[in-house]
Amino acid sequence: MFLEQGRMPRLELPTDRYAAIYAIGDVHGCHDSLLALEEKIRLDAEALDGRKLIVMLGDYIDRGPRSATVLYHLTASPPAGFDRICLRGNHDDAFLDYLEGDPAGDWFLDHGAMETMASYGVELASAGPVTGSNHKLRELVRSAVPSSHLEFLRALPVMLTIGGDVFVHAGIRPGRPLVDQTDEDLMWIRRSFLDLGPGLPVRVVHGHSPMRQAHVGADRVSLDTHCHKTGRLTAARFHQGDVVIFDTAAG
């Protein structure tokens, strides 16, 4: 792992550390779907010798009903036989900003905050308006979020590189060397990346831009299938050069 001054953590792992890698798209509070997908992954991995890695591509909270439960799950141990790396999504980043009083976090309030607050048991009816200037509401949310969740959010890296595969939440700035990618692009970029691709000799595995079905291409694998609307949470298995897609309806 390396962390440059003023930048969020980025990770790099050797290609031979894991027998298989499973990447999971945007969860958005869909805890039941996450459990069901993990069970599919666990059963699939039984046929593969060696340790496996689960890479979570970010956006664990907002919009779905059980954001707090998802974070409790991700701060606990991964399934037996697996390691797990969780990347930072733009929703996770905005939630952390809100909790820490950064005005940039006010974006969170208009993008699924009500469901996230409710999942922590915050009584919104008595908290006043859902605005950045409502300090009572912010304090209520802060007091409801356990310190383990704050520590988890603060530690989330924004990029994982394994050989020629780059795992991020949103994508990369086309043609820009990986070392020069900004945190903002890795968590927020959309149109230019989707239109042009990475523009580098890498394959980018990402979520962030919802699609009806996963996209698997030579330079891009997209795994956000709008779970909070469709009930479908999607994963990709990377093993011996092949990509296999798994998805599940909410259970």
pTM: 0.95
78: number of Cβ within 10 Å: 17
3-state secondary structure 34-80: HHHHHHHHHHHHCCCCCCEEEEECCCCCCCCCCHHHHHHHHCCCCCC
Rg value, the chain, Cα: 18
Number of other CB atoms surrounding residue 83 within 10 Å = 15
Give 214's contacts (C-beta < 8 A, 6+ positions apart). 25, 221, 222, 223, 225, 234, 236, 245, 247
Tell me the two tokens of residue 8. 């969020």
Q: What distance in Å separates the CA atoms of residue 98 and residue 229, rounded to the nearest whole number?
A: 25
Residues 6+ apart with CB under 8 A from 174: 192, 193, 196, 197, 198, 199, 200
Closest by CA to 22, choosing from 89, 92, 83, 80, is 83
Q: Answer whether CATH 3.40.47.10 is correct for domain 18-248.
A: no
Q: Are 149 and 70 in contact (CB under 8 A)?
A: no
Count of C-beta atoms within a 10 Å radius of residue 19: 15
pLDDT given at position 249: 67
Boundaries of every domain in the chain:
18-248
What pairs with residue 2 in β-bridges? 10
pLDDT of residue 128: 87
Q: What is the mean pLDDT of each run of 10 residues along the chain (251 residues)?
A: 63 97 98 97 96 98 97 97 98 98 95 96 89 94 98 98 98 97 97 97 98 96 96 97 87 41
Longest dimension (CA), the chain: 55
